[in-house]
Amino acid sequence: MTPAEFHQRDRSLHPPAHVPAYKTSVTRSPRLPLLTIRQTASEITGPTFGHGDIGALDNDLTLNFAQGGMPVGERMVLHGRVLDENARPVPNTLVEIWQANASGRYRHRKDAYLGALDPNFGGCGRTLTDENGRYHFRTIKPGPYPWPNHVNAWRPRHIHVSVFGTAFSQRLITQLYFEGDPLIPLCTIVQGIPDPSAIERLIAVLDMNASVPMDLLAYRFDIVLRGRRSTMFENRLEGN
């Protein structure tokens, strides 16, 4: 059987390339229409990853950079599932995250924010989903921080998330936010998404059932990648 194509991407759920209020997007946004193609093997396949690619502590941000102590801040579990649009789990796929520390400071040579670096916190992690598409990280809740888009612009607390899926056409980078953060409606990056329900789906929710008493709180964030067409009367990749 030849592999089936993926559903077309519903671009109304994504921020457009050009969001005038997000100033950096103005000169970095293509102005000509995207080229429409029929997917081929180049789009339906994609890189695969295995446990040999990652280390045992890669999904524990409280330990994977620690220099003999614990990072400062609210300890938390981030967990959820990677699913496709057909609600099928996406197993064995690589999930990578990066974030600021509890002070809102990134461990990056280009970040000069006043918030303090934490000697025990790097801010990156990665893991593979299990056979049911589940993933989990242990980390610190990131702080909000200012950025120069406009006067008094602040990013809400967020964690950057990168996901592969099984095909190059499923590749996705997003950011997750936290339930109840009053900065979400003020953020030009978030509000570049035209569909309010699509914004809601970027907000991780407190999950007391997954929290560990006397240790850490948990937040749940499910990720949905593009799904595949059924093959009932499918035009085949070859032939037809």
Partner 1 sequence: MAQALGYLKETASQTAGPYVHIGLAPGAAGFQTFAQELGRIIAPEGVPGERIRVEGLVLDGLGAPVKDALLEVWQADANGIYPHPEDPRVAEVASGFRGWGRVITDFDTGFWSFDTIRPGPTPGRAGKRQAPHISFWLVSRGINIGLNTRMYFPQDQALHATDPVLTSVEHPVRRQTMIATRTAPATYRFDIRLQGDGETVFIDV
By the rule CB under 8 A, 74 interacts with partner 1:
no
Binding residues with partner 1: total (CB under 8 A): 96
Residue 106 annotated in active site: yes
> What DSSP element (H or E) covers 163?
strand 158-163
Residue 154 phi, psi (nearest 5): -130, 135
- Longest CA–CA separation in the chain, Å: 62
By the rule CB under 8 A, 70 interacts with partner 1:
no
By the rule CB under 8 A, 150 interacts with partner 1:
no
For residue 180, the minimal CB distance to partner 1 (Å) is 19
> What DSSP element (H or E) covers 180?
none
By the rule CB under 8 A, 114 interacts with partner 1:
no
DSSP 96-146: EEEE--TTS---STT---SSPP-TT---EEEEE--TTSEEEEEEEPPPPEE
By the rule CB under 8 A, 10 interacts with partner 1:
yes
By the rule CB under 8 A, 55 interacts with partner 1:
yes
By the rule CB under 8 A, 73 interacts with partner 1:
no
For residue 229, the minimal CB distance to partner 1 (Å) is 11
By the rule CB under 8 A, 29 interacts with partner 1:
yes
* Candidate list 21, 73, 75, 162; residue touching partner 1; CB under 8 A: 162
Taking residue 16's Cβ as centre, other Cβ atoms within 10 Å add up to: 12
For residue 206, the minimal CB distance to partner 1 (Å) is 19
Q: Which of residues 189-218 bind partner 1 (CB under 8 A)?
A: 189-190, 192-193, 195, 197-199, 201-202
By the rule CB under 8 A, 43 interacts with partner 1:
yes
How do beta strands 172-178 and 203-206 pair? parallel
> What DSSP element (H or E) covers 147?
strand 145-147
CA distance 106 to 17: 25
Catalytic residues: 106, 145, 155, 158, 160
